[in-house]
Structure 1
Amino acid sequence: MYKTRELARQNIFDYNEMFYNPIRRHGHAANLSPVNYERQHFSEATNCL
């Protein structure tokens, strides 16, 4: 538990910025990085409209 909401928010932000790698490829995402997977997903979703 965090003493304040701000401490929790800062800790989560630091984790995301320091440890999460948006470039690394993921096998469950057709070997695409999270960024590229998201781009492809939204591109396909837009084409369906």
Structure 2
Amino acid sequence: MGLKLGLLVKEKAGTLSINNTQNAVLSVKQNYQATTQEDSVREL
């Protein structure tokens, strides 16, 4: 029982860190898009 619970917690932690990584990548992309949009507005 304890072992299964430990594995489940590890799985959850792994999923969480994957989600955090994806969220971080998304926010970087959004920030990048925002800055490139600002740059293109400046160029106009």
Q: TM-score, normalised by structure 1?
A: 0.38
Q: Which of 1 and 2 has higher RCO (CA within 8 Å, sep 6+)?
A: 1
Q: TM-score, normalised by structure 2?
A: 0.41
- Structure with max Cα Rg: 2
Greater fraction helix: 2
